[in-house]
Every structure is written in structure tokens, then in C-alpha cells.
A and B are shown apart, each in its own frame.
Chain A
Amino acid sequence: MTTCLVVDDSSVVRKVARRMLEDLSIEVREAENGAAAMDRCAEAMPDAILLDWNMPVASGPDFLRALRQREDGAAPRVIFCTTENDLDHIAAALEGGADEYIMKPYDAEILREKLEAVGVLKAAA
């Protein structure tokens, strides 16, 4: 089963994302900040990571940097999922090793398309 780690300091946001992902038959785990996300990845590397930008303890970019330095950290497809919606943030995310970028608010269709775009989900025929 495809797995996705949802990293966001808001439990409500995590819950909404969880519901959308589970509708796509994706198994979901959650982390409330970048440090907790590293712990989850050390336990088991997910196929995809939905990553918030601003979080306490360790931010999205902090986490991404640490993840991509891990030997097994190149594999997960990382999709930023944030209210930061300007070109500078998008450019910085891609330079930092993110694969895609979702600007909040978003809906189930955008999430599905982005997962398809990074190859985590197979495109509907």
C-alpha cells in the first residue's frame, strides 16, 4: 500500500488531508513538526510526504534539508502544502529538493493531480 506522511502543526489540517488521502487508498501517518517527521521517517520511509512550511521545533524546509541528507532520503516524493503562495517560496522549495507544491486552500482533486504528477498515484485512465 502507498504510504504518505502528513506533516503539519494543525491537527485539523492533518485530519482533512488524512481523509482525502485515505479516499485515494493511501495509508496515512502524521507528524506535528519537522523533528517528529524525521522520527517517523527513521521508523519507516513513506512514499510521499505532504509538508507544511511554518511549524514549531523544525520547519518544513529544515526537515526537507535533513531528509535529503539521509542516505535513504532521496526516495520520498515531497509535496509542500502551505499557505505560503509566492514565487520566492515556491522557488526555494524546489531548490531545497521538493517535488511539487500545493498552495492552501486546495481540494481533493488538486491533491490527487499533484500525487499523480510526482508518480505516487497512477493517473486515472
Chain B
Amino acid sequence: MISPDDFAFFQRFLKQRSGLVLGEDKGYLLEARLLPIANTFGVSNLGALAERLRRPGATALEEAIVDAMTTNESSFFRDKTPFEAFRALMLPTLLRKRSVDQPIRIWCAAASSGQEPYSLAILLREEAAAIAGRKVEIVATDLSQEMLKRARAGLYSQFEVQRGMPVQLLLKYFKKQGDDWQIAPELRQMVHFRSLNLLSNFSALGAFDIVFCRNVLIYFDLATKADILSRIAKNLKPDGYLVLGGAETVVGVTTSFAPVAQQRSLYSLTQGQAPRAVAAA
């Protein structure tokens, strides 16, 4: 537990450095995000971390803390809409269009701590009757080794499993591990995690039917966004889908994609873009 003084100190520091307003009920968030940093910096608790932060010249630590706290919190079924579109539109459409022996390939391009790919894995299990044994592959990538380690373990705090996920799904797909909850091994096996920097060449990942690239482009400047999106376009099958975050858009960034009518956050390749490069993958 963090002392009220230290909590107030972190609150002031975050407000000043990043504009982040940390509510009084967010002590758990501070611990969840900063304890890994405390470990990295060789201290065992948040009190000691605050002590380090108060010392002059703690620039690297300051940056690590701001970074950890301002990264969007992930949750299962985050924003709901894309997952509903996956279940009701994307998956049935692809199952109809693709031949039975053709695997459906999904890429989560900013998998973070794994909630997004695991939410998809859960939906695939829930839709098992429609899938009828056909192969669906989920590739989940993230830049951070730390995040990938967490994601692979599939361990989530009590707070995390209550975010966005109906308790019925918790009951079906998770087991308690001490204070945490772990997603079932058969769901963990459905997701292939690997480390990847979106700035590097990712054409070797092959062609996908759906790419989730949510809440990561916001961290890049316009030219970089455009570059990443145009390269994602090459890794997408001609009739595939791109899913962006709720606050993100392709408008004014790239002409490779256009919004799918009536579907928030959903994009498809623009005509004329589609055939190139993808066929080879």
C-alpha cells in the first residue's frame, strides 16, 4: 500500500509533467503501473520509488513514470464496438468468403498486455458453432518485452478482469491464481505473441484478414502514421478490415484506407490499392 503523502506526491508530479489527473480511487493503478518500474530501478515499493524521484537528476525515472502512467489503460473488450463488429460482421463475412481450408488471420498490432487478442480468442470460443472447426490464427505483437511477458502469462489483476468483461466470461475462461486471474491455457494457445516495432519492416508477418491497430498511432507524428498505415495496407488482404482506436482516423493521413459505412473505427482498402503486393504474401 502507498502512503497518502506519497500518493499526493505522485499526483502532483503527474499533473505537472503530463497533465494527467489521477483520481483518489486510482491507487491500484499507480501500483499496477509503477511497481514494474520500481523493480527495474532496483527499489521494492512505491515509497522508495517516490524517494528516488525526489532526488535531483532522476530524468530517466521521470520519463519512465510519465510513460507508464499516460499509456492508455487496456481492458478486455475495450470500447465494445469493434468486438461487436468482429462478432457480427467481420467474422461471419470472412467465414462466408474464405474457403474452408483457408485460415482466417488476425493481427493485433499493439497487443499491450494481451487483453485485445484474448478478447478475440474468447469471442472465437463463444462463436465456435459458426466457426465449425475452421482455423483462425491470432498474431499479437508489441514493442515492449515487458508487456509481451505479461501478455503471454495471461495473468490479470482483479481490477483488470472486472474492466469490460461480463462475469459470465470470467467464470468460463479464467482460473484464480492467488490474488490474480489467469486466462485458460487453451485460450493462451490461440494467440501467438511476438515482439515487433511498427517502425520496422513487418512484411514477413504475411497477409491478414483483419488488423487491429488501436490506440498506438496516436503516439506517432503524421508522416510516421501515414508510413505505418501504408505498410499495413500491404499486409492486408484486398477485402480485409482495419480496426483503429475510437479517437483515430485515416482521414487526412492516408488514402490507402476508407471508412466502412455505418461502422465506427472500421476501415477497408480503397480501390486500386487492393491488389498490389498482397497476393505474393
Binding site for B on A (CB under 8 A): 85-87, 90-91, 94, 100-103, 105-110, 113-114, 117, 123
Contacts and interface: CB of A to CB of B under 8 A. Distances in A.
A103 B160 CA distance: 11
B25 A90 contact: no
Contacts of A110: 159, 162-163
Given A85-B158, A107-B25, A113 B167 contact: no
19 contacts: A85-B176, A86-B176, A87-B171, A87-B175, A94-B167, A94-B168, A94-B171, A101-B167, A102-B162, A103-B158, A103-B162, A106-B162, A107-B25, A107-B28, A108-B25, A110-B159, A113-B163, A117-B166, A123-B80
Interface string B135-162: 0000000000000000000000011001
Interface string B36-58: 00000000000000000000000
Contacts of B170: 90
A86 B180 CA distance: 11
Nearest to A109: B163
A113 B171 contact: no
Interface residues of B, number: 16
B194 to A, nearest CB: 31
B156 to A, nearest CB: 12
B185 interface: no
B80 A107 contact: no
A91 B171 contact: yes
Contacts of B171: 87, 90-91, 94
B164 interface: yes
A101 B166 CA distance: 9
A89 B91 CA distance: 34
Contact of A100 (B158, B163, B166, B175): B166
Most chain B beta-carbon contacts within 10 A, residue among A94, A103, A107: A107
A57 B176 CA distance: 30
A94 B163 CA distance: 18
Contacts of B158: 85, 103
A110 B167 CA distance: 12
Nearest to A91: B171
